[in-house]
Structure 1
């Protein structure tokens, strides 16, 4: 390909094909068919009223075919695939039976209302798929790859591999996960985290597929394949959630096959016995058998759960709560205790400087600048926190040490202007001196859960810098809300007893378990399950994955490790802990609506069956009562789509 051709390929705007009329209407075909069926029923009734009986029957027959096609096809296909009769087949038999005894209008109305309820179920499914469709549109199909010779070339995203270098211009979406190697920009990560405020991204910062580059051009090296990105994992999570059935749904579907056989067996008896036992005419016997076939069908019962579950999953996805299946959403309502990891979950996961205690001979600025100058040569999290503190507070150039030696696990030794400086633990600078420094301030900050970094000049300790992994403000709110709902809260951490005690008080948890390795976290979760029953675990790290898998419901923070995300049952995309209380409320609301649906549908079925045996219900009212209850159940489930 010539350079000119490449340039034209790159700059030529894509011509988007407008969707055809059929493509626009295809999601609504079931509803359109139901509407046409209803119109034909009205036409048939008018023709019958004016004594055009044969033409009237033709209109009803068309209503049968158009309105019932989708459900008939579904029923026959599922019967062949599962080798078991289903609710759809009961409705088909009832409609055909009604036509046989001359009740064409009633049979057509049955098909019409059944078609409407089917269209409503499809609408629910489409609504729950809306989040996936919206997300899929956010993923670019092409990226600008920078070739080894420096040229730019538009290539399919699927062809990119790890370590490829791409250019992302202002206004473009990030096509894959990667790390910035050139440029500074602001990134809108709302598609991933839900956070509306753009984040500033610099060299070595990560960027994620589906997010928007707002202000500057950046050059990015790929860290993941297109099918392994966080964005793709979110899509997979929602898809798997929709396909996984809750225990209630699995039971209803298992029950449906047996129930259909029982109904058909009773219908077989009703076609014969009432004539001999009750003295009914054959016409009345067949008529009542057909009414029983209609009213005893468990359409409303079958529709009690799945639309509600899909609506709740859709609602959660919109709020940044991703459920991996209906079973986890259902279980969440029964959680009695929740265990929290500390670092990165209850806390921010990054230590910050909280206090600086200094000898009167020096100023805080002198000590902080000098300590940051030495610690800038270390990758330790505490060292980075001190450097960050100096930059934010003073923002002045740092001094270059003459020599520096890192004593791993203890501290750093450096020389500046022929003076020896030691920065590190109490034992590294002299434990007795450290404990005695400034009226034993070391003991006080240790009790507060803070970490002490001492600064020693030659033979004298001159400063103590206190650091702490700060508790998130939203953590306190989340814990308080859970406790108000009667849920017992526990913090499980690998930190020392003193630190765990201080953080637990600050975060308001009921209990803490300190000095936990991954295997002890698992054992702790098992103990909580024995004591409280259904237990959830919230975490974000690799070391949390075994405990997440052990808990009845594992909840991962969206910014956590891939292992935690894959192991968990629920993912909080915004790392927003108060969302846990919302998820529990959503679960309770869903279970409440499902119970309402089941009780209502069974009550209607029983009432109609009894009325039929008492000869108190005609076929049209049986059809309206039965199918109307199905529509009401689905509409009740759709309430879960609202926040």
Structure 2
């Protein structure tokens, strides 16, 4: 029962590996110098109170700056001031607080600048072109592309710019999409394909001709939406970001109450404290580091996704990737290479190989899919030829419900190919019979990890087509990494259960659903969500749209249909389904970075507390508490504030790049954060503040 006819072996696949970050960064085409120049200006613009109040922690610093500025102008505005030359100390505190706020604005402006640079690059691809609009009677009228409306039909030939987003309704042509994807290789666009009929305005047709139906109104095309998203002008905070902002605001309020209680105690022990010193103490104790970098971390997360050539509709979608518990993946093209081809024919019921080849050819003559064309090639290789009038025949397209396709011949006879159980039902409905040979061929192909398709002529089954696919090398390791992070993987496939189990075992997924249809995708997503899981999935076809909309993270392929792209909250410009695994890693990296810098910021406060509090009560003979041996109150305050200001720009690269991602469990991540960023956040300020204190003492500001 082994197949006797084979197609040429496919080329040896390259080892699967994560998306190349360096390549992705090249595609970003970001002018770093221009970003920093723009960020310097934007950091001053963000000093506007309307912008400053959006960040409660830094707004408190902003208000403190005004208070110390007033105290600089009139040192006795808030009462008598202890110490020498209070105007100089107040002025220095004011300058340091100003730069603390400015550095926080600069961090956010740099992160936003990357998106704005990408938006500028995208705008350069947009231009008003002349479109060849087709009228119902077939005449062509040249009109500006900006006048096209949804539903209009246009004609494009080699050399033309596609004027607006649309669907190919006639023709086949190569399209240059490098302006969007950065990939120089042309993409084939043709009618009748669920994943290769969508075209994007601004791309160029480089061969043949197409007739395109416009699917987007002016200003609402894919590039327009990309510009709005990467520019981030209307970026809203994510739920986790809002929660952390509230927590930081509460901590700041607590420290504010603590600082307010210090003057009575200081006066009681004979060590009065000025208002400027109290403001400095407050700023040193509140979590300004994470407060200043929080927005930059969120914006940078979206930027890292964009560097992978993925457009996210919001920061919420990126953040949701970090919380994903369940990953739903299609088998074909994601877990396997996707080039499922006919490997051989298995005759049954006494039929010859030539007869099976003829029936398979007749059933596939209208099938334009890669596997359908491979069946035709294999059948013709075995000598099969069409002996009926194709023009008078009717092609039956594959349906997820019927799970078969075929041809209705001119004489009324019917030829079908499809899933074995579907063909069994078709034959039985016509009073035909099945045989144990069919089950044997089915099991043999399935146990080899192939996909068996039965072929029948009217009510008689002639044999089985052996379709072969290959699991992507290296993907098993990726699934193991996800498992260590607590992410469960589920494979969906239309294949039978035996084939699905073989592929699932080889790929290393946690679970699989065989013989799946579009309704099954939604059902499994809803089931996982009812259990409190965050679900991510990919899709490209119109039948995937409902599931993409239902999933917490839906990634549509750029080659997919307009319906799929509108339903998803992410679009992969490279149309690589396996990139979903990398997107999940980016989301988790975002959460890890935020957690690490929050730990570091709070740990910093401990060191700053020991730097300032002891020297405030120096005149009360409590110098024993000054474990850092700082020179004076002024040097302690200035040292802590200078460190507090400088640590923000020092951490901007880490906030933008992200903490290096490692596939660890939640407990392991917590232990790592406490060990590295918690302990490091305590030690680093002690060393830095002491060094700054020595410099201040030498300069004579102490």
Question: 1:188 aligned to 176, 180, 196, which one?
Answer: 176
Question: 3-state DSSP class of the match of 2:293?
Answer: coil
Q: CA deviation at 1:123?
A: 1.4
Q: CA deviation at 1:511?
A: 1.9
Partner Cα separation in structure 1 for residue 95 and residue 499 of structure 2:
72
Partner Cα separation in structure 2 for residue 268 and residue 92 of structure 1:
18
Q: CA deviation at 1:236?
A: 5.3
Q: CA deviation at 1:361?
A: 9.4
The match for 1:311 is 300
Question: 3-state DSSP class of the match of 1:305?
Answer: helix
CA contact (8 A) 1:140 1:173 kept: no
Question: 2:112 aligned to 122, 125, 129, which one?
Answer: 125
CA contact (8 A) 1:168 1:213 kept: no
The match for 1:177 is 166
CA contact (8 A) 2:360 2:455 kept: no
Tell me which protein shows more helix as a share of its residues.
1
1:315-326 aligned at under 5 Å gives the runs 315-326=304-315
Partner Cα separation in structure 1 for residue 269 and residue 71 of structure 2:
21
Question: 3-state DSSP class of the match of 1:120?
Answer: helix
CA contact (8 A) 1:553 1:569 kept: yes
The match for 1:14 is none
Structure 1 residues 387 and 401, CA gap change in structure 2 (3 angstroms): farther
Partner Cα separation in structure 1 for residue 150 and residue 394 of structure 2:
39
Partner Cα separation in structure 2 for residue 145 and residue 318 of structure 1:
35
Partner Cα separation in structure 1 for residue 558 and residue 115 of structure 2:
21
Q: CA deviation at 1:627?
A: 0.8
* TM-score after normalising by structure 1: 0.72
Question: 2:66 aligned to 92, 100, 103, which one?
Answer: 92
Matched, 1:481 2:478: yes
Question: 3-state DSSP class of the match of 1:444?
Answer: helix
Alignment length (residue pairs): 572
Partner Cα separation in structure 1 for residue 439 and residue 534 of structure 2:
48
Compute the RMSD of aligned alpha carbons.
4.7
Matched, 1:300 2:289: yes
Of stretches 233-242 and 297-306 in structure 1, the one that deviates more from structure 2 is: 233-242
The match for 1:155 is 144
1:574-620 deviation per Cα after TM superposition (whole angstroms, max 9, x unaligned): 33243233223323333332223212222333322332222245243
The match for 1:454 is 455
CA contact (8 A) 2:159 2:206 kept: yes
1:140-195 deviation per Cα after TM superposition (whole angstroms, max 9, x unaligned): 3323334658566351425444233243552746543242646x643223455554
The match for 2:510 is 510
The match for 1:576 is 576
Question: 1:620 aligned to 634, 638, 658, which one?
Answer: 638
Partner Cα separation in structure 2 for residue 415 and residue 523 of structure 1:
41
Structure 1 residues 79 and 380, CA gap change in structure 2 (3 angstroms): closer
Partner Cα separation in structure 1 for residue 227 and residue 380 of structure 2:
38
1:106-255 aligned at under 5 Å gives the runs 106-146=93-133, 148=135, 153-170=142-159, 172=161, 175-179=164-168, 181=170, 185-192=173-180, 195-201=183-189, 206=197, 208-210=199-201, 212-213=203-204, 215-216=206-207, 218-226=209-217, 227=219, 229-235=221-227, 238=230, 243-255=235-247
* TM-score after normalising by structure 2: 0.67
The match for 1:372 is 361
Structure 1 residues 575 and 386, CA gap change in structure 2 (3 angstroms): same
Q: CA deviation at 1:471?
A: 4.8
Partner Cα separation in structure 2 for residue 491 and residue 292 of structure 1:
56
Q: CA deviation at 1:316?
A: 1.3
CA contact (8 A) 1:477 1:578 kept: no
Structure 1 residues 557 and 143, CA gap change in structure 2 (3 angstroms): same
Partner Cα separation in structure 1 for residue 432 and residue 255 of structure 2:
86
Matched, 1:389 2:377: yes
Q: CA deviation at 1:572?
A: 3.5
CA contact (8 A) 2:363 2:415 kept: no
Q: CA deviation at 1:91?
A: 3.2
Where in structure 2 are there 5+ consecutive unaligned residues?
1-32, 76-86, 418-422, 616-629, 662-702
1:234-289 deviation per Cα after TM superposition (whole angstroms, max 9, x unaligned): 4455467971323332123324544555555555544x4255213135xx533422
Question: 3-state DSSP class of the match of 2:109?
Answer: helix
Partner Cα separation in structure 2 for residue 109 and residue 407 of structure 1:
75
1:613-642 deviation per Cα after TM superposition (whole angstroms, max 9, x unaligned): 222452432331211122223232122399
CA contact (8 A) 2:285 2:605 kept: yes
Question: 3-state DSSP class of the match of 1:606?
Answer: helix
Partner Cα separation in structure 1 for residue 198 and residue 567 of structure 2:
23
Partner Cα separation in structure 1 for residue 144 and residue 505 of structure 2:
54
Q: CA deviation at 1:442?
A: 4.8
The match for 1:42 is none
Partner Cα separation in structure 1 for residue 343 and residue 114 of structure 2:
48
The match for 2:682 is none
Of stretches 624-633 and 494-503 in structure 1, the one that deviates more from structure 2 is: 494-503
Question: 3-state DSSP class of the match of 1:134?
Answer: helix
CA contact (8 A) 1:162 1:224 kept: yes
Structure 1 residues 124 and 77, CA gap change in structure 2 (3 angstroms): closer
